[in-house]
Amino acid sequence: MRLTVLGCAGSFPGPESPCSAYLVEADGFRLLIDFGSGSLSSLQRYAGLNAVDAIVLSHLHCDHMMDAALYVVVRRYAPDGPYPPLPVYAPAGAPERLAGAYSADEGPLDDVYTFYSLQSGSFPIGPFTVTVDRVNHPIETYGVRLEHNGRVLAYSGDTAVCDAVLRLAQGADLFLCEASYLDGVDNPPGLHLTGREAGEVATKAGVRRLLLTHLVTAWGSEAETLEAAVGAFQGPVEIARPGARFDV
Ligand SMILES: [Zn+2]
């Protein structure tokens, strides 16, 4: 499978990146994981306006879902006619949340999206075996494990340290892990990981390669985050960038 980072800024768009969005392709199937603010721009730049066959939303914070509301226009009002409904796997409440974000009074989005409520477990999407589990964040949030042809890509979602993210990442070939916070700071509990914690999860889970994402550039330091992760994980570590591609 191939991962293309469309957006990787944590919490709000940064000067160099939209918010979280990751396109994963295999056998010609295109799965978009998260669709945060600004990432619709990157989708066009690095893939194509309609280069999506299904969407997984890890949770319903704006920086992970807001462009799924804007994407309604793309699908509903395409010049060559409306597109068929796109499957969206998301926490319960996504239909109302996205409809409300799109418009106060234009009704449901059933013509654009077919919604499936996420629950912890495994299920197929296209050629992928997808496993999701609840992670440690203030609202219902899922980490994601994708398997295809014996390879594993794991995504932390937004989470503080928890057993679920460790299980999801177990033995992953590529672990896309959030690292929102700086170490050595009195961070609020139950929200996010630091670079060191991301590295520790990667080590405990025995992953091959660690890709740090969801850094809050304006408040943090890429160099410090990377250094902290490298200090806790001996394998290759890098920081996600829009347009970066990884064959898994
Ligand atoms: Zn969040």
Q: pLDDT class for 228, splitting at 50, 70, 90?
A: very high
Distance 185 CA to ligand 1 centre (A): 19
Reported as a single tens digit per residue, the pLDDT across 84-119 is 999 999 999 999 999 999 998 999 999 999 999 999
Distance 81 CA to ligand 1 centre (A): 34
Q: In what order do the strands lie in the sheet with 128-134?
A: 121-125, 128-134, 142-148, 151-155, 174-178, 210-213, 237-239
Residue 156: HSE in the Cβ half-sphere, 13 Å Cα cutoff: 34
Reported as a single tens digit per residue, the pLDDT across 155-203 is 999 999 999 999 999 999 999 999 999 998 889 999 999 999 999 999 9
- Output the pTM of the full model: 0.97
Distance 78 CA to ligand 1 centre (A): 31
Distance 193 CA to ligand 1 centre (A): 11
Distance 82 CA to ligand 1 centre (A): 31
Distance 158 CA to ligand 1 centre (A): 5
